[in-house]
Structure 1
Amino acid sequence: MTAASPETVELTGLQPSRDDLLGDVLKGLAASPKRLPSKYFYDRRGSELFEEITRQPEYYLTRVELALIGQCAAQVAAAVGPRAHVVEYGSGSGRKTRLLLDALEDPVAYTPVEISRSALVGSVQRLDQEFGPVQMLPVLGDFTQRIPLPEPERQARRVLVFFPGSTLGNLTDAESVRLLSAMRETMGAEGAALIGIDLQKSPALIEAAYNDAAGVTAAFTLNLLARLNRELGADFDLDAFRHRAVYVPEAGRIETFIDSQRAQNVTVQGRAFGFAAGEAMQVEYSHKYTDEGFAALAARAGLRVVHGWNDPRDWFGLRLLQPA
């Protein structure tokens, strides 16, 4: 089978529009405290920076999860069974996907759902070249919204939703339950979901992962403002804002902010928003889980944990869920 080119990759386009972006930004800047949705981090430059983050020495998550998937892939494949239609939320570069598809028995199709066009096309090209018999059915869209699945040419025995990277942790509890409930609908009564979760551990270790010494995470965070300047005609002065990520033990999560370094006004589409010196704008959560907490979260969405795997240090876990 010939590998797909950027011109021949067929995408189901459900990505947020410019009006969606503008509406979310205006709503977030008018809120108190101010906030911006983390899903808009991933323009082309943001996706490139995130891949660079995953290679920083402090950022253990990707490194540990890749090793864990490699170690337990055969067990996952045995639990899932043959002829799965793999649906991945937030597919990124596809490094983890390669390990999963390689382990599964006769996977029928692969549907990555990704908000970044460049990341989606790049990963589909690479995977199509390596897994020719697996039908590639990419969807360019926001996985936090309901996604109608493309129908594969070969009939699948079950749908497997793949959600690695502990990306679920970027949502609030209420948002997580809504997304898990949508997953349950997507997978159907016979389906399953394989979810990566970052586990609670030393706060210093966790906090360092989001404040790397090279400043890549800071550049990634501030790139959101650069995107708003470019796409919405905003006038954020990137030198007047700073990245800050702190671990909040009582909430069990990293909270990431963009802090205003001085009193200033920012305009977006003619609307002015004032920032006080030191004012924090919330841009991301990164929840860290316990087994009990994650199982309770899944149960609220009508799902149950049927298998679980951790790395040897219990830093990161994979959980296989099925409808309760």
Structure 2
Amino acid sequence: MLRQHVNFDLYVYHPKEFLLANGFSASSIPIKRLNSISIGKLMLFGITPLFKKEYSVYVLCAERKLACNWIYLLMAKLLNKKTILWGHGLNANFYDTYMHKMPIIYKVMYRLADAAWFYTENERRLWSTLLPSLKSVALGNTVSIPTTNKIYTDEEKASLRTRYGIKTAVNFIFCARFSNANRRVDLLVEIINRLNPDIFGFIIIGGGPLKPDFSHYSNVYDHGPVYDDEMKSDLFAIADAYLQPGWTGLSIVEAMAYGKSILTFERSADISQCVEYGYIEHTRNGMVFQNINQLISFITEATRQDYRQMGENARLYYQANLSMSNMVGNALKSLVMLHDEIKIRV
């Protein structure tokens, strides 16, 4: 979508084989490849794009361990070119710590940049106090969902439950890779064990090395990885809410797009959350619990209308704040602010 408004080249430093081996599908977007090499925790990649006259602005992944980022940030100033850092603005694993005391290396990195694209408004607001002169925008990090406008009737949902063999009256959906311990799948299993299996069901989408064996649960409907848009839309339609104990990132954006409220736990020393966690408005488009007893109590007392209202609020939040056109618009606004000679197509 951004390419419709401005010309750019997209460079990647990981080979296609690396992406496929880590569970990502290959994109059809035209790309150019950079040679890269890892030295311990540092990553080096080619710097030839720095010396191409057709480029005036470089958008870099805001990762301090990419050694060549520092070369780009320094050399761009000598070559009279502009740089934008695009990222979280902090390490999400240490969110609360960094919000109160940002490491110096991050401050130096952002001070070298001409502008910054942050995922959400919370991080942009933080950096506006740390570096008031930094030109920054919050993109509203999101994903594009092809079937967000479809609203299912109660009759259609009942038909879908029959088609997919779902017998429980109230159902929660989890859609993420089982590859990060911060998602706290152990808590998901505990929730399943503590709820009445004749009433509450769990729809699982996703695979990965940390995935538990759900086969002995009669109320867990495990579909593994799902890449068919229609099937995923059906499964989200059946669900009453989205439940993910920790590390809520773009998965909750997807759930909001499908009109599902978010059930998760409060960010703490034991529960890590991604920056998209900031999209959750407690009691409005989701529920944020302090402990598992609170969650169990809410689930056992909540009505279908409670889920329906919060789910509709989640859909409206997505449409108002997290559309792909909104994200692209924020990026374009930043480019114009940074470099008034960039030609934007309308």
TM over 0.5, yes or no? no
Q: Specify the TM-score bucket, using the shorter chain as the normaliser.
A: 0.3 to 0.5
Q: Give the number of the structure whose alpha-carbon radius of gyration is greater.
A: 2
Q: Could you say which structure has the greater relative contact order, defined with CA pairs below 8 angstroms and 6 or more residues apart?
A: 1
Q: Which has the higher strand share?
A: 1
